[in-house]
Amino acid sequence: MKKREKLLALIPVLWASFFDITITIIHQPKEYWNGNLTAANEANPIGNFMMKRA
């Protein structure tokens, strides 16, 4: 597999990641944006941990 083919194969993964991050940010409650980090709404346990620790 050539370098160009490898990079093209990453496009769906990068798009899915961008989509997930965008949806996660958009659907946070007002309390989260007002500083109450415990109000974070994230299904991924690692992401949830990170969002509540920022």
- Contact in structure between 24 and 42 (CB atoms under 8 Å): yes
Asked if 50 contacts 41 with a C-beta cutoff of 8 angstroms, the reply is no
- Write out pLDDT tens, residues 2-18: 999 999 999 999 999 99
pTM of the model: 0.71
Round the average pLDDT of the chain to a whole number and report it.
Answer: 93
Q: Is the pLDDT of residue 49 over 90?
A: yes
pLDDT of residue 1: 80
Banded model confidence at residue 54, pLDDT cuts 50, 70, 90: low
